[in-house]
Structure 1
């Protein structure tokens, strides 16, 4: 017997793949798994196959454990915050925040499918979480906003938590317990709860590590954000209300010195507490909408250029510009030079292709057209016709900044900026005048010419007046918006000319007065916008206000009756070559700076009114502010309103004074001057009604009418339901200011003027940390 036949050797087996090769899969034929396979051998193909997929790991259990830990940490944070506030005094009900973004309720959602109720030790918040997961039936991302709890509210404020099926639960104050639940997931996706001490809870995560932040959840209310401590750096105070840029790319910043600071969240809360209702929130929203919708162009510019006017119309527009344009008093454009070049342009159209000259003459057309049509046409016609020429100038804006240019480009940008500073145009002056200032810097206009430059006296005079025209508008725009200036006063050596610019009236009193007032405005802005000054003591601040006021009064001496609030403008002796509209401009510019100086001590966000060591200065500032706003309201009756009226006359200073008069009434509802002040509020509301009428409802400011009604109702309510005096003075002088003898002395409790005592944590909101009152305003759709 052959042993080899009895025990045959096993035949070698060929290795086979676990998946078909790419060729067989593409042809959709059976693959024998060979390397290479028979199909690839028959067709001469390279036999390759995709790598085998790795088996998916079932991470459900791990994910569930992770979610349980995260929920436990959320509960630990809530419990820790609750224990810190357990002994804190509760805020009086009428001082509670009126923003209802995080509402309170004592109701707990009940669900028939909730996990077994034998876990009686679980808190209502934990039952809500268990119910949510039971409903969802699968892991859901948890949206947890800022968990920092308010420091002034006794009860629990819990933000809405959205999981799966949307549920909103705010547990009551009763869920203060000594333990929190630990959650284990069962097979039916419910959670079994067992007690767990706080000490056993996992280490707390920072808010950024908890859950997934959802963009549809609103930001926390101002009151829920921790206040900046007094020892924080100025930069931290400045950033406390900052907004992430990608979330607010269509918003614009308005600083704490802007009149719109009353529309910030703290401003709305302060007013609402004073009037006892939340209706001011709607009025503030109306004002921000009316203001911000004019800050940008609402539609794209036309790609087609508007044909330039015929010769006769062009000369008429040019003459109107040189006779009545606000910037013509500075001699921004030399009249004789412009007329000569325009004549050459009209005789030889299409020859001169200089973008700067094209922009300048179209800007002059736009200004002159609006001035001419404002006399005989309606507002909309004047706006549309003039805007078409301005679009021509704006079409070459890029060439003015980034191509080789001469002084002509600076002139063109300046005229364009002054054009948009009137109510008959979108408010683009902030960006345009900033560009003009930068270009002026590049041409050395901020420096006094030296002999080596080889400039004639007329050229030096024109350069200097051009720079100061830019300076005046730029400082006014920055003051209005509460933003930093692009012009540094310490780098300016350019002198104020002592002779009139070519082609302008012989008197230089009007443009010189505007320059001096702009310099004072810049000085005030540099002091109060410097974040380093916010940490100064009250005595230093009061001394600063007194010194600035003394400097401001020096300007008043040269202007005499023009800025005296005790003399009505119609009874004042106007200087030669100064129109009534120009006199109004000087007067309101002076009043605007006066308010900038003294509202540092009288505004609601300053808690310095009750400081005993500076009471004399606070009393003086209150008197000056009250007198100034009353004079402003009366001056509005002398303002001519049409499409060419400057924004400072038609809107900026009137609304600034109106808001401060409103604040003055709310702070002092018992003053004997309140009835006349309420009447002046109605006068101010009448000015804005006249503005709406003159602009054919293109510039509606219904805010004034609503606020005047709120002020009258607040005073009426205060008389019907007077608050306890809390030692408040009752004697007033002839200006409606508290007499010195009744000042609250040191050692006495500091109290709000018509409110109850504020605890230390809540009163921080009214400290002199001005950046809490900054606002980011959305650009509303038209």
Structure 2
């Protein structure tokens, strides 16, 4: 989920009344597949029934803080009228532009042609006209400024509050013309580019959740330009614009399917209504970056199938046999995709920065791993308070796959650069999903052989979120994460003391963290102790 930086503070004081479970359940309208399912009334009741009476209030506090984090999106657009801030001078505008194209990971999509943008920016700066007479161009360049500001100030060591406030001035400029971009008399490619880049920027605003709205807006405008159809339908676009339009469409496709499965919400794109070709690589384009883009598209197509087959209205009406058959088919497709990945992208092996191909940043590599494990969790994880009663709900193999994937997500947090330029799904939503899956699993199976090691993994996840808290100058408070780890540890210790035994599983033993039977290839702990994650 997108994450805001310094503006969102989840206070530890007791001044604010806790959010009721009933209200928490309604926040954001998230599906039971989202990690926010833990904020429902049924989830709170289930959790409280499995902790000591001393920890019941802590469960309420955890849900309150997590709900408040999600609810921040309702206050993001607080100002009744968005103020427009001065744009940077020529020197700084050019620096921000260079930072964006040289260092921003999303440029691998090719949604903005660098030469075209720089030529237009150069002409604009020489003209000296900083008006918003062209809303689409105004929004696009200000979002580039915002992203470039974040990159430049992070690299120079500024604190998170300064970085956020400096970048947000330009992003608010872009938001100030959002309505004009949507309802422009003449829809153009620049408007689609602006909305697309705005949605990518918003992904890093931890807690805002506006990225999904901006993405859906961009898709509607793109469909208005018929970017989802064959080029013959794009008479209004030049050949170069058709190329860029194709890249924009597939970038939006990837992002939309990611959001859909992440939040358990219907996609804005009907796969049956796409006839445009897949992207083609330019001769000057880095083949390693292009490979990542193509693999993102393939994974997004699988995610789209998963939502349609399992979580759509029709998918939810399936009986147990139909559901099991669909899961097996989708699991095979996902496994085949994983096995087809180049070794440096393939989930299941430690990531080594020094062995990455030229021009490949570590973030999209981690994203490929998280996409795979997050998709496994989406397919197999069924929270016990939402079970529909089918035999699949309680199938050990399904639960083991989801929990093993969650373990892998936590282990991979060590590869993440915890700064304001790392995408929000890597920093927050995937690790938070994994943490909650482990938390629920431990409370459900406190006597499992893996319970203690899973508690240790929760401590590792707590360390990741502590780094995130520090990186945001303590403005993103994550005490509820620490509380979850403490509750899980106490639950395991208490039940084992009461039973006077070390381990007495009441069901089939579950796989250890690094068992060869886990989802994906075997992970060797020594690899994680000796890899060169910090190598340049």
Aligned to 2:298: 516
Name the SS of the counterpart of 1:256 in structure 2: coil
Corresponding residue of 1:382: 163
Aligned to 1:317: 96
State which of 339, 351, 363 in structure 2 corresponds to 1:581.
Answer: 363
CA 450–545 in structure 1, closer or farther in 2 if over 3 Å, else same:
same
Match runs of 1:315-714 below 5 Å: 315-350=94-129, 353-376=133-156, 377-404=158-185, 405-423=187-205, 426-450=208-232, 453=235, 458-500=240-282, 507-562=289-344, 566-570=348-352, 573-600=355-382, 603-606=384-387, 611=391, 618-714=395-491
Would you say the 8 A contact 1:671–1:736 is kept in 2?
no
Give the Cα separation in 1 of the matches to 2:311 and 2:259.
15
Point out the structure with the larger helix share.
Answer: 2
Instruction: State which structure, 1 or 2, has the greater radius of gyration over its C-alpha atoms.
Output: 1
Q: Deviations over 1:21-44 (max 9, x none)?
A: xxxxxxxxxxxxxxxxxxxxxxxx
Structure 1: gaps spanning 5 or more residues: 1-219, 223-240, 738-782
Change (3 A) 1:563 1:653: farther
Name the SS of the counterpart of 1:539 in structure 2: helix
Choose the corresponding residue for 1:293, options 72, 85, 91: 72
Larger RCO, structure (CA 8 Å, separation 6 or more): 2
SS at 2:341 equivalent: helix
Deviations 1:77-123, CA, capped at 9 Å, x for gaps: xxxxxxxxxxxxxxxxxxxxxxxxxxxxxxxxxxxxxxxxxxxxxxx
Calculate the aligned-residue CA RMSD, in Å: 3.1
The alignment partner of 2:231 has SS state of coil
User: Could you tell me whether the CA contact under 8 Å between 1:317 and 1:368 is conserved in 2?
Assistant: yes
Cα offsets for 1:574-602 (capped at 9, x unmatched)? 344311122112211221111111114x7
Contact 1:331 1:501 in 2 (8 A): no
Counterpart check, 1:716 vs 2:498: no
* Aligned partners of 1:379 and 1:695 also within 8 Å: yes
Q: Could you tell me how far apart the structure 2 residues matched to 1:665 and 1:608 are?
A: 21
Specify every segment of 5 or more residues in structure 2 that has no aligned partner in the other structure, as ranges. 1-19, 515-536
1:262 maps onto 2:42 in alignment:
no
Contact 1:331 1:503 in 2 (8 A): no
2:70–2:207 CA contact under 8 A, matched in 1? no
TM-score computed with the length of structure 2 as normaliser: 0.83
CA contact (8 A) 1:336 1:503 kept: no
Q: CA deviation at 1:687?
A: 0.7
Q: Give the conservation status (yes or no) of the 8 Å contact 1:317–1:367.
A: yes
Deviation at 1:562, TM superposition (A): 4.8
The offset of 1:491, in angstroms, is: 0.7
How big is each residue's C-alpha offset from its partner over 1:462-502, in whole Å with a ceiling of 9 and x where there is no partner?
11110111122222223333222221111111222131498
CA gap of 1:407–1:564, structure 2 versus 1, over 3 A, is closer
Per-residue CA deviation, residues 498-525 of structure 1 (Å, 9 max, x unaligned), is: 3149877774011112222222222212
User: Helix, strand or coil: the match of 1:445?
Assistant: coil
User: Is the partner of 2:29 in helix, strand or coil?
Assistant: strand
TM norm structure 1: 0.58
Say which SS state the counterpart of residue 420 (structure 2) adopts.
coil
> SS at 1:420's partner residue?
helix
Task: Using the TM superposition, give the Cα deviation of residue 426 of structure 1 relative to its aligned residue in structure 2, in angstroms.
Answer: 3.5
Cα 1:565–1:463 shift into 2, 3 Å: closer
Cα distance change on mapping 1:275 and 1:628 into 2, 3 Å: same
Q: Partners in 2 of 1:506 and 1:736 — Cα distance?
A: 31
Q: How many angstroms does 1:697 deviate by?
A: 1.9
Task: Report the count of equivalent residues.
Answer: 489
* Shift in CA distance, 302/465, structure 1 to aligned 2, threshold 3 Å: same
Mark the CA change 1:303 to 1:440 in structure 2 (over 3 Å): closer, same or farther. Answer: closer
Q: Tell me: CA distance 1:595–1:572, structure 2 relative to 1, closer, same or farther (3 Å).
A: farther
1:430 to partner: Cα distance? 1.3
Provide the residue aligned with 2:9 in structure 1. Answer: none
Distance change >3 Å, CA 392–CA 541, structure 1 → 2: same
Which residue of structure 2 aligns with residue 203 of structure 1?
none
